[in-house]
Every structure is written in C-alpha cells, then in structure tokens.
Amino acid sequence: MLCAGAYWCYSRGYQKADTSWKFQWAQRDLTDATAALQHEVTERAKEQRRQHAADEERKRADEELAKIQADADAAERARGGLQQQLAAVQRQLAGSETGRLSALAAASQAKAETGILLAQLLGEADDLAGKFAKEADERYVAGSTCERTWDKVTGQN
C-alpha cells in the first residue's frame, strides 16, 4: 500500500509537472507566433512603403520621359526644317554654276560640291546630335530615377 501511495504521489507530481511544462511551452509558442506575426506585419508595411516609393518614382520617370519625347519631337520637326533648307542650298549650289566658262566653271563646281558636301555633313551631324541627345536624356532619367528610388527605399532621403 505504501508503494501504491508513493507511486500515486509520484505520478500525480509527474502529471502536474508535465502539465506545467506543456502550459509553459504553449505560452512560448504563442509568444513566438505573436512575435512572428508582428514581424511579418512590420516587414509587409516596409515592403509596401518601398513599393509605393518605387511606383512614385516610376510615375515621375514616365512623366520625364514623356517630356523628353516631346522635346525630341520638337527637335525633329526643327531638324526637318533645317534639312529642307540644306536641300535648297544644295540644289542652289548644284545649279548655280552650270553655264560659265570651263576654268571658272571647274573652280565654281568644286566650290559648289564642297558646299553640297558640307551641307550633307551638317545634316548628318544634326541627325546624330539629336539621337545622342535623346539617348543621353533617357539615360539621365533612368539613372536619376534609380538613385531617387534607392534613396527612398533605404530611407536616405
């Protein structure tokens, strides 16, 4: 009987300790889950803030690129007018010296051909300058947008 009483006390104490530990583990699991949830909510808020900042910068970059495209279109129209003027100068130089004497005609023809060549070179240089300017503007917008986005996302405003 004494052994049975001792065994009963032992098993009762064991159950009580086991229940106590189970309760403590459940509390710890609840605390861990709560902390994990809070951490997830915090990280999602950071992610949403960063995404919002990136979206704002993307919108700003799109507006800047639209402005650059409008400027490029205006420059292209101006270049078209310049090309027309250069073509008129080329036609004028090509047709101006056809009826002169041979020595004068040869010298004038060389001058006319030089003028035509220079007009063509000016036209090509203007075309390339427009392309280079547009590319440079687009790269500038991309770089500055990337930099601003990084600053906003990392909080280095």
Q: Is 1 inside a domain boundary?
A: no
Whether residue 23 has pLDDT greater than 70: yes
- Residue-wise pLDDT tens digits, 95-108: 655 545 455 555 66
Which domain does 55 fall in, by range?
28-153
Based on the structure, what is the number of domains in the chain?
Answer: 1
For residues 133 and 143, what is the distance between their CA atoms, to the nearest angstrom?
15
Q: Which of 127, 116, 133, 117 is nearest to 80 (CA)?
A: 127
* Cα distance from N-terminal residue to C-terminal residue, the chain: 79
Q: Is 49 inside a domain boundary?
A: yes
Q: Is 19 inside a domain boundary?
A: no
- Confidence tier at 19 by pLDDT (50, 70, 90): confident
For residues 38 and 55, what is the distance between their CA atoms, to the nearest angstrom?
25
